[in-house]
């Protein structure tokens, strides 16, 4: 290695940055905006994110490995909820910086639950107050920030808009200052640790969640049965799993219209993400009780990605 290369290595900082908060507070939106690329799916439905997803942001001297996590949930209704909570708690124990996201003037039991989960951590915690673009009188934030500052010793409290990008450059600068010195853990051009097959499944699930909203309960997931590049076309077969026959009818829609809309929207995002023409075929299957079945959760990839 040349002296110049060794010098560059000496100047490098690298570390893991957990993004935590209650469900539906804007964690995935923040990650996507920082990366300027969709890595984590979003919708208005709480707990859209179910997996630990890495988003890697590198420049010449810093590699920030953001860890998007499911929303911490005090309600242990099913095995899936427990698995998601375990994912968050394991991430918190093994990162260098934590971004704790809350929403405007809201502080509720769910936020308190997240705060208590952080009580034993010794790494710096940045508190981000999201969706400030919806606050008309910014001076109202000052007393709220003062109250939040009493809850624990935060490294900084930063008002942001994950959707609009407001103050995210400030957050990035603060994070870089807190990263430990060390070599990069991923190549500089890598954006995520997840496979294209995983991203395809998530994009389909996002469209199901967005299109059906409250019509469809929580129990829906997606398996990719085929992911194959044939010349210039990427052939993807996706299986949408629901809990009951009545849900299958909802997903398919009258004359298959709803399923066609889901497929069309997912295919557009896939072609942009994979930079290829995509031939997408979707099916819907009933798999009763999968969200409360430990073996099913493992086979669907919820518990085997450390």
CATH number of the domain residue 84 falls in: 3.40.50.300
Of these ranges, 32-36, 146-150, 293-297, the one predicted with the greatest mean pLDDT is 146-150
Asked whether residue 288 is assigned to any structural domain, the reply reads: yes
61 and 204 share one domain: no
Question: What's the pLDDT score for residue 304?
Answer: 47
Question: What's the pLDDT score for residue 158?
Answer: 95
Question: What's the pLDDT score for residue 77?
Answer: 59
pLDDT in tens, 137-187: 888 889 999 999 999 999 999 999 988 889 999 999 999 999 999 999 999
* Selected residue with higher pLDDT from 302 and 62: 62
162 and 202 share one domain: no
Q: Using a cut of 0.85, tell me whether the model's pTM lies above it.
A: no
**Last residue of one domain, picked from the residues 150, 178, 206:** 178
212 and 81 share one domain: no
Asked whether residue 142 is assigned to any structural domain, the reply reads: yes
Asked whether residue 305 is assigned to any structural domain, the reply reads: no
Q: What percent of the chain is modeled with pLDDT above 70?
A: 78
Mean pLDDT over residues 76-99, rounded?
Answer: 72
CATH number of the domain residue 243 falls in: 3.30.300.20
* Entry field: residues in the chain: 306
Q: How far is CA 114 from CA 9, 299, 302, in A?
A: 36, 28, 21
Average pLDDT over the chain, rounded to an integer: 83
Mean pLDDT over residues 282-289, rounded?
Answer: 87
Total domain count, the chain:
2
Q: What is the residue range of 49's domain?
A: 3-178
Report the range of poorest mean pLDDT among 114-123, 181-190, 278-287.
Answer: 114-123
């Amino acid at each position: 290695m040349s002296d110049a290369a060794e010098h560059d290595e000496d100047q490098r900082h690298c570390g893991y940055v957990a993004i935590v908060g209650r469900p539906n507070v804007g964690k995935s939106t923040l990650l996507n905006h920082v990366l300027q690329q969709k890595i984590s799916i979003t919708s208005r439905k709480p707990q859209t994110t179910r997996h630990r997803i890495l988003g890697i942001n590198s420049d010449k001297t810093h590699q920030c490995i953001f860890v998007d996590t499911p929303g911490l949930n005090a309600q242990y209704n099913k095995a899936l909820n427990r698995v998601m909570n375990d994912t968050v708690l394991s991430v918190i124990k093994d990162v260098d910086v934590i971004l704790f996201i809350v929403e405007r003037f809201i502080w509720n039991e769910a936020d308190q639950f997240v705060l208590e989960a952080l009580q034993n951590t010794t790494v710096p915690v940045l508190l981000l107050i999201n969706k400030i673009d919806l606050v008309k009188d910014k001076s109202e934030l000052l007393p709220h920030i003062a109250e939040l500052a009493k809850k624990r010793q935060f490294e900084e409290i930063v008002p942001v808009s994950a959707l609009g990008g407001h103050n995210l450059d400030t957050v990035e600068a603060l994070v870089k200052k807190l990263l430990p010195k060390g070599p990069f853990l991923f190549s500089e051009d890598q954006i995520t640790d997840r496979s294209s097959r995983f991203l395809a499944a998530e994009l389909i699930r996002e469209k199901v969640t967005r299109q059906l909203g409250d019509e469809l309960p929580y129990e829906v997931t997606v398996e990719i049965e085929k992911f194959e590049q044939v010349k210039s076309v990427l052939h993807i077969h996706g299986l949408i799993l629901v809990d009951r026959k009545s849900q299958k009818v909802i997903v398919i829609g009258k004359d298959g219209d709803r399923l066609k809309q889901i497929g069309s929207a997912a295919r557009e995002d896939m072609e942009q993400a994979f930079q290829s023409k995509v031939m997408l075929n979707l099916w819907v299957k009933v798999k009763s009780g999968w969200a409360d079945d430990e073996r099913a959760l493992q086979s669907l990839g919820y518990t085997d990605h450390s």
